[in-house]
Amino acid sequence: MTKIEPYWNPSKDMKDFRFSIRKESREGFFDVSEVPEVVLPFFAFTYVLEGEILVEVEGEPYLCQAGQVLMIPRNLPFRVLYFKGNISYECGFSLHALKDVSYKCLHDPHPLKQAFWFDDAVFTASLLELMLNAWKRKDHILTQTALDLFLCRLKLQEGHPANSTVSSFLEKVFDRSRKPGKVSDYADELCITPNYLNRLVRTQTGHSAMDWIEISRLNLAKSLLKQGSLQISEIAAAVGIDDQSYFTRFFKKNEGYTPSQYRDMVLAEKTDKS
């Protein structure tokens, strides 16, 4: 129930920025609804060790799961849509931090998403831990060497890495200007059958279309419960559930608490902090 604080502050003067890395562990629910879209004048990447993160880059959603890296080129607008049990390395670097700027991944204008499997994933995690420790010790030579070795392991993918139909579906599901709907609603908008949409989404993301709708519905409900200004029945309607009792069962099934209990916990948390 923590609010995500933006990692980078683009309002700062970053003309001398070279490199930064940190390891993040995010448990529980994070309210990303107020995290602004960011445009950075340097490269940024995240490597996920556990859980998953959904990032929208130039309006295109990218789901990054355990063993996957997402690198975002300079000056591309992006924002976080969703976290779940996320443990990851997050890094930003400018070309001034590198010995070699000829890597192809640095000259592609599109985001790069790549999966590492088994031994490769273990090696990549170890390499990033080495990079993190070297940076903390201000060992710039070892930091630079580790970053170069990481970049040389990234490979460009032919074509766009995301299925356009799946991307459009995720964009619609996380659009906060509308209520989360049914699978059939989104399938109709995309001019395909619900079964075909489910197959596409599960193949691309590992989750069904209904899973993503429920994730969006649950996150919106948590955000509204934290605000404390709406009745439970009003929140149920706002997330697309007309039956309040069903909404309560849905919420408790996923969170282990009723909506009222969850809101009481949030209010108690706020009181303790104040």
Residue at 208 is within a domain: yes
Can you spell out the DSSP letters for 51-83?
EEEEEEETTEEEEEETTEEEEE-TT--EEEEEE
Kindly state whether residues 256 and 141 are assigned to the same domain.
Answer: no
Residue at 157 is within a domain: no
Kindly state whether residues 266 and 203 are assigned to the same domain.
Answer: yes
| Domain stops at, among 151, 183, 204 | 151
Q: For the full predicted model, state whether its pTM sits above 0.85.
A: no
**Confidence (pLDDT) at 171:** 85
Alpha carbon dihedral 124, 20, 22, 107, in 10-degree steps, equals -40
Kindly state whether residues 218 and 196 are assigned to the same domain.
Answer: yes
Total of domains in the chain: 2
Kindly state whether residues 35 and 137 are assigned to the same domain.
Answer: yes
Q: Which residue's structure tokens are 């104040």? A: 274
Q: What is the CATH number of the domain that holds 53?
A: 2.60.120.280
Kindly state whether residues 68 and 172 are assigned to the same domain.
Answer: no
- Containing domain of residue 35, as a range? 2-151
Interval 174-210: pLDDT, tens:
888 889 999 999 999 999 999 999 998 888 788 899 9
| Domain stops at, among 106, 129, 151 | 151
**Confidence (pLDDT) at 61:** 84
Q: How high is the mean pLDDT of the chain?
A: 86
The average pLDDT across 121-149 equals 94
